[in-house]
Structure 1
Amino acid sequence: MRHETLEAIAQSAAVPAMPAVASHCFRMTLDPNCAIERLVELLGADAGIAAGILRLANSALFGAVREIDSLQQAVAMLGLRRIRELVLARCMAAALDDGPADSIERTYFWRRSVTTAALAARLADGSMPRRRDAAFVPGLLADIGVIVLARALPARYGPIAECYCPLGGDEWMQREAELVGVSHAEVSAMALESWRLPESLVAAVRFHHATASHAESTAATREPSAMIGAASVVAARLCEASEPNAAARTCLAAIEAAGLQGAALAEALPDVERDVENLATALGVGIADARSHGPLVDAVVREMAQGVS
């Protein structure tokens, strides 16, 4: 059933096609001798992509130390691989927003996804700082399978999609296997494969809800997968008005289960809201209002202090 379901989804219109600008960017940036002038011309022809790349290049998440005011500088600073992945991520976000109607509330979806991406990037600072952006892209796209499933299988996935909302809990992920036979993580990975994103990013998405001992995951994918999974748990709590102390305990448990220290979360949280707002603008997505950022930050600090005392 699982294989047939994935095949049916892959053949449906629910998985968006790669737009021409993304396809051209993909081909050009795979060439190590890529003519930077031609790439800049391609990116500059799309005002949204050009503005988004400049904003991302100036983001603290990508290590900006001085103002970048031209696409040429942005390409030089970010590099071809980063440009390729960021353009594909932005185009995937746009394609999902422009596609057929579905039951997923978009501003909540993007608030949660962008928060996951920002947190994953911040958490990466402590363990793999040179791959900060490698945590950002899979963090951003980890849940796109929710939208694809809601479009491809509206009757079967509808009851699950209704739970992808503030205070919806985590039980909906267990119901995916029961009602659909596949997980949103698998479908997200399938969509990214169709857009030819690197296997390392695809694997990080595929296993971001898997246990550390998952048979198909490898040592190379476990750390980024676990980091994205933990960021996803924290992001969900930031997007809902839950009781701060209970939410903080849930977040710290997820962080520790991923092999990270609670201090990494306490250090990452204060900057996340600013990151989320900047990234949403750069990606061209609308996001819901923040729900519990300040109270959760305070509660995490309190819980950590109690654990030390």
Structure 2
Amino acid sequence: MIMTDLSLQQKRERTTKIISNILNLNVIPKVVFELMKILDNPNTTAGELNKIISKDQALVTKILSVANSPLYGLQRKVATIDFAILVLGFKELKSIISVISISDALKNKTDKYLNQKEFMLHSYMVGAASKKIAKDMGFQNSGEAFIAGFLHDIGISVVHRYLHSNFALIFDLMENQKMTFRDAEVEVNGMTHEEIGSFLLEKWNFPAEICDAVLNHHNPGKAQISPAMASIVSVSDYMTQSLKVGELKLDKDNHLDDYTLSKFNFEKELDAEKFAAKYKDLFWEQLEFVRFLN
């Protein structure tokens, strides 16, 4: 049994306390906070932005890698940050910098519980698909859908790195008591990875729409702010399993809720399989451009 002396609420409070301590750690580089601040300033010039980004050559390399990926489908190669700023704009750069920085900060060593390369590939695939689907559905800011999709499972990464013994207990429950991943999460942590991820993103001042989508990507019908975005992330997550590209083993019990089925005019999940087939080329194209995650 797992900590039977603790109630569900006590487990939840204990996990929240540990996660809150992460906020006090310098997990996000100082240059990134500096970038986020000036990107939100309408008076910021391209020259000022370029100067700050250029302080971190690793970040420069990754930004250019993403800019040249099929995610944006640009006709010309982006070889400099100046050109990236010109063709992508501040909003898209903010999306790219946000996901790169957080994914780098929360990386842990691969072990038998979680393969980091597979996890980051899954995150990127869901982000890329969310961006494309949002654009196809007429969303004005598909960049936010990319962020929500990329960071939808950030709670898994947080638990694996900062609550590793709990992560091991979760797997023990899955293997020996045949629990689903999310049921085992609640049993051990008192909360799910969606709740943990949304909690951190909210504390890091991410837009409410993104936090809400991350919180409800397994149950978009419960979303209070952006159920449509949550449903896009849910479908993109489901598509990785359907297409067997960038899938996450922890998602083997993943299903689409009634709201998502209705939003996409699916009568049943089989319709989602047909929908996924339309994006098969997108998924395979992205495989060649995930080096920036490693």
TM-score range, shorter chain: 0.7 to 0.9
One-letter amino acid matched to 2:58:
G
Q: Distance in 2 between matches of 1:254 and 1:163?
A: 28
| 1:117–1:135 Cα contact (<8 Å) kept | yes
Deviation at 1:222, TM superposition (A): 0.3
Count of residues in correspondence between the two structures: 270
Aligned to 1:226: 231
SS at match of 1:182: coil
Distance 1:39 1:99, change over 3 A: farther
Kindly provide the CA deviation profile for residues 142-185 of structure 1, in whole angstroms up to 9, marking residues without a partner as x: 11111212333333332335799xxxx99201222222211101
Aligned to 2:68: 58
Deviation at 1:107, TM superposition (A): 1.5
Distance 1:277 1:188, change over 3 A: farther
Q: Distance in 1 between matches of 2:44 and 2:136?
A: 33
One-letter amino acid matched to 1:174:
D
Distance 1:152 1:98, change over 3 A: closer
Greater shift, 203-212 or 229-238, is seen at 229-238
TM-score, length of structure 1 as denominator length: 0.75
Deviation at 1:253, TM superposition (A): 8.8
| 1:142–1:205 Cα contact (<8 Å) kept | yes
CA RMSD of aligned residues (A): 3.4
Q: Distance in 2 between matches of 1:254 and 1:108?
A: 29
Aligned to 2:169: 159
Greater shift, 34-43 or 129-138, is seen at 129-138
Distance 1:63 1:285, change over 3 A: closer
SS at match of 2:106: helix
TM-score, length of structure 2 as denominator length: 0.78
Aligned to 2:131: 121
Of residues 190, 200, 207 in structure 1, which corresponds to 2:209?
200
| 1:104–1:161 Cα contact (<8 Å) kept | no
Aligned to 2:284: 273
SS at match of 1:79: helix
Distance 1:20 1:99, change over 3 A: farther
Bigger helix share: 1
Distance 1:224 1:138, change over 3 A: same
One-letter amino acid matched to 1:285:
L
Stretches of structure 2 that go unaligned for 5 or more consecutive residues are: 1-8, 266-271
One-letter amino acid matched to 2:27:
A
Distance 1:94 1:257, change over 3 A: same
Aligned to 1:301: none
Kindly provide the CA deviation profile for residues 16-37 of structure 1, in whole angstroms up to 9, marking residues without a partner as x: 6221110110111111010211
Of residues 167, 171, 175 in structure 1, which corresponds to 2:184?
175
Stretches of structure 1 that go unaligned for 5 or more consecutive residues are: 287-309
Aligned to 2:293: 285
Deviation at 1:254, TM superposition (A): 9.0
Deviation at 1:258, TM superposition (A): 6.3
Kindly provide the CA deviation profile for residues 44-90 of structure 1, in whole angstroms up to 9, marking residues without a partner as x: 22222212222322334235243333211211222222212211210
Q: Distance in 1 between matches of 2:115 and 2:145?
A: 24
Aligned to 1:136: 146
Q: Distance in 2 between matches of 1:156 and 1:106?
A: 17
Question: Matched residues, percent identical?
Answer: 20
Q: Distance in 1 between matches of 2:110 and 2:149?
A: 23
Q: Distance in 2 between matches of 1:92 and 1:63?
A: 24
Q: Distance in 1 between matches of 2:15 and 2:248?
A: 35
